[in-house]
Amino acid sequence: MRSFPQYIPLWYRSTLPIQGIELFYPGILEATPISGVPLPYNMSGKSEFRISAPQDLQALGLVSPEVNPDRENYPEVYFKKDRHGLPNPTERTRADVLLVGDSYALAAGVLYPLGFQARVQGQTGLTVFNLGIPSLGPQREEFLLDTIGLKLRPRSVIWLFFGGNDIDEAHRLEQFQQKGIRNYRQLFPDFTYPTSFLADMLSKAPRRFLRARPTDKERKPLPPFRFNTESQQRPLWFHPVYLRNLSHPPRYWKQHPGWPATQAVFRRTSRALRSQGIRMLLVYVPSKPQVYLSHVEKDAQLLREMASFDLEDPLGQGPEEFWETSLRNRGSLDRVLSQFAEREGIDYLSLVPVFNDAAGAGSLCYLSADTHWNEIGQAAAAKAIVVWLNSH
């Protein structure tokens, strides 16, 4: 198992630091600064992947597997990775467009169903290189841009900013640095690899495969909201963190501890790119509840329960108050970011109107039981960004 770590089950590698990346690349955690990304990021030894659609809300326990429609609607997702572990079907030494972002950018590299990246290439004839890796904030995305992306001599950079948690990710990195954590190994100071991986795996298997019934303290799955299309009702679940973020007014985001670092990254990067003659487009990607909360059947009690799902105690706001606050403030972060971009002279595109139009027409731009966009949302985003690319 030490000699062939690619055969260790992913569920078990997920219990190890960064999915056991040191088994593939010894010493990589200590060698990687905390503001960077361990590269290469591909730990499977494969370049092609056929997997089921992501199910982060099911993994959270919010969605019961028996009622998850994504398992039937998206039984297989196909994509390829390059030597860096990035979602690019071919190796490149040159690219017209760089796509920067987190898991939304990663999802954009999907080849089946057809994702954003392939759509933009097909509609413009431009080569696109994808730097997307999950769970990144602006600082680490800047690291990938500087370390890998700019070597490809791009003409433009499309930077996807996810309104659900990107500022929180920026703050998380700041907290690591304030604690004196300088590299990834220091994130896991007490961790030691087991003497026997097989024995450790067998000890953890019952907890994964033979789980007892949920205790009273464990949350039970919640019913979905209902989104009415012309032909059917579509169930939707929302991430608790993104629901809580949705309710904050503009002053909250301006005072957020991750906001200064976020501004610094975009200010520094946009000026550096401009000096090299590279055009940057900052794209605001809304969370699913930001778009669809106003399009689902109202259930204020369910909204409060869903927003409190991962908390020890329910939210202090009552159901009706939280519903109204969420609807009123759902565009706050978008406005704060767009005002910053205007001051800095950064091209800015919010996908909120694009997705609102799709929702109004009865189209679902996201997976039902996951937080990410589906091929419908990616097609809508690609159409809007192609307009910008053709103009510039």
Domain presence at residue 288 = yes
Least confident of 13-22, 224-233, 245-254: 224-233
Q: For residue 156, what is the DSSP state?
A: E
Domain presence at residue 138 = yes
pLDDT digits (tens, 9 = 90+) for 232-264: 789 999 999 999 999 999 999 999 999 999 999
Domain count of the fold of the chain: 1
Domain presence at residue 247 = yes
The boundaries of the domain holding residue 357 are 5-207+226-391
**pLDDT(138) > 70:** yes
- pTM of the entire structure? 0.95
pLDDT digits (tens, 9 = 90+) for 47-100: 899 988 899 999 999 999 999 999 999 999 999 999 999 999 999 999 999 999
SS3 of residue 319 by DSSP: helix
Extract the tokens encoding 9.
Answer: 């089950």
Domain presence at residue 216 = no
pLDDT digits (tens, 9 = 90+) for 370-388: 999 999 999 999 999 999 9
Domain presence at residue 221 = no
Q: How much is the pLDDT for 42?
A: 78
| Whether 203 contacts 210, CB under 8 Å | no
Q: How much is the pLDDT for 5?
A: 86
Q: For residue 389, what is the DSSP state?
A: H
SS3 of residue 230 by DSSP: coil
Domain of 174: which CATH number?
3.40.50.1110
Domain presence at residue 213 = no
d(CA 90, CA 83) in angstroms, rounded, equals 9
Domain presence at residue 314 = yes
β-pair type (225-228, 128-130) = unpaired
d(CA 387, CA 284) in angstroms, rounded, equals 16
What is the average pLDDT across 330-351?
A: 98
Q: Which residues of 269-286 are buried (b: 16+ CB within 10 A; e: fewer)?
A: bbeebeeeebbbbbbbbb
Extract the tokens encoding 124.
Answer: 């413009």
**pLDDT(214) > 80:** no
- 193 or 326: which leads in pLDDT: 326
Domain presence at residue 50 = yes
Tokens 């809580």 correspond to 244
Kindly report the average pLDDT of the chain as a whole number. 94
Q: How far apart are the first and last CA of the chain?
A: 52
